[in-house]
Amino acid sequence: MAAGIEWVDTDHRSFIGVIGGLSWCLGNMLLAAFAYLVNDWRNLTMTATAPLGLAILTWWWIPESARWLLAHGKVEKAKFYIDKCAKFNKRGDLSSKINLETLSSIENEGNKDKNYTYLDLIKTRR
């Protein structure tokens, strides 16, 4: 969900976050309804996990975040998705206003000599 929010403009990010929370709640309510209707636990497991097949198929359609692409040196792909997102939002050509190569080099230089541990997941906000 967080990766999808990055492609949404700032005015609608909270709305998308609320929709994500509501979908989780709706899924839990549906699970209770399925558990009431399907008595065998094996059939319930298959019924509850069947929608994950659709989620797996969407992995090929949803692009990686521009930040991830830049961090891994895929500047041209990041430029393509930023331009596509800007065109969809009627914002013009944003990649000409920012230098993606500079952003990519800054991101890569900052992470070059750092060794991360599991404690870094909790210690830092980033």
pLDDT in tens, 45-75: 988 888 888 888 888 888 888 888 887 878 8
Band (pLDDT 50/70/90 cuts) for residue 2 is low
The larger pLDDT score, comparing residue 51 to residue 104, is at 51
Calpha distance 101→47 (Å, rounded): 47
DSSP 2: H
Q: What pLDDT score does 117 carry?
A: 79
Band (pLDDT 50/70/90 cuts) for residue 101 is low
Print the SS3 string covering 27-96.
Answer: HHHHHHHHHHHCCCHHHHHHHHHCCHHHHHHHCCCCCCCHHHHHHCCCHHHHHHHHHHHHHHCCCCCCCC
pLDDT at position 42 over 90: yes
pLDDT value of residue 95 = 62
Q: Per-residue confidence at 106, pLDDT binned at 50, 70, 90?
A: low
With beta carbons less than 8 A apart as the criterion, state whether 38 and 44 touch: yes
pLDDT at 103 over 70: no
For residues 103 and 30, give the distance between their C-alpha atoms in angstroms, rounded to a whole number. 44
Mean pLDDT score across all residues of the chain: 79
- pLDDT of 3 reads 54
Mean predicted confidence (pLDDT) in 70-81: 83
